[in-house]
Amino acid sequence: MAVQINPSILSADFARLAEEAEAVRGADWLHVDVMDNHFVPNLTLGVPVVESLARATDTPLDCHLMIEDPDRWAPQYVEAGASSVTFHVEAAAAPVRLAREIRAKGARASMALKPATPIEPFEDLLPELDMLLIMTVEPGFGGQAFLDIMLPKIRRTRELIGKHGLELWLQVDGGVSASTIERCADAGADVFVAGSAVYGAQDPAEAVRALRTQAEAATAQASWACDH
């Protein structure tokens, strides 16, 4: 699978979201962080904003739900126009049922792990998912430092994907930048969320292109990708 770069609008100007989406034209997805001030200590946006944003841009929306009770809310984000919906396994009451519901409604189903949540208990669940998100910071805020201690988890997840022959995308989110993206790609990630590294740049579209070039080069050298 080709490298994908998903700018996070958490670092964009919320009063100008349509223009900020346009500013990263060429990105694969727009990453939309939904926070409820319960699952994480921050509050962002909800279904009505996603609905408006979906109408305002052609770039597909990758909604990352950092909320309690995703079993209840996630399907509404599909109806609002999200093409991919990520719920946190720590918050989901019935992750298999929820993933199936998201898929049945026509979106890609994705599950996220906070830094302290291991992948191993969820090996049997991976075929139910289109993407797995490994958080490389504690969720809640943009601009935090990348957690290098997550690299072994990315590696082990990539091994599980290979072992089961899955088409699962492996996303990393948090502290991804020009100085960390190569480590992520080398470890096995293929979908990269970047907030401050994109919207903090002079030219966000150019930042997306530069990150993609770096990630592609690192993937071409990576042992996990060598067999294809």
CB 113 within 8 A of CB 89: yes
Q: Which of 28, 36, 173, 190 is catalytic?
A: 173
153/123 Cα distance (integer angstroms): 13
34/97 Cα distance (integer angstroms): 21
118 contributes a contact to ligand DX5 by CB under 6 A: no
11 contributes a contact to ligand DX5 by CB under 6 A: yes
176 contributes a contact to ligand DX5 by CB under 6 A: yes
Concerning whether 173 is annotated as a catalytic residue, the answer is yes
Continuous H helices in the chain: 17-22, 47-56, 70-79, 95-104, 151-163, 181-187, 196-199, 204-221
183 contributes a contact to ligand DX5 by CB under 6 A: no
Beta strands 30-35; 169-173: pairing state: unpaired
Report the residue closest to ligand DX5, judged by CB.
195
Smallest distance from Zn ion to CB 31, Å:
6
Q: Which of 45, 131, 150, 194 binds ligand DX5 (CB under 6 A)?
A: 194
| Contact footprint for ligand DX5 (CB under 6 A) | 8, 10-11, 31, 33, 64, 137, 139-144, 173-176, 193-197
User: Which residues participate in catalysis according to the annotation?
Assistant: 33, 173
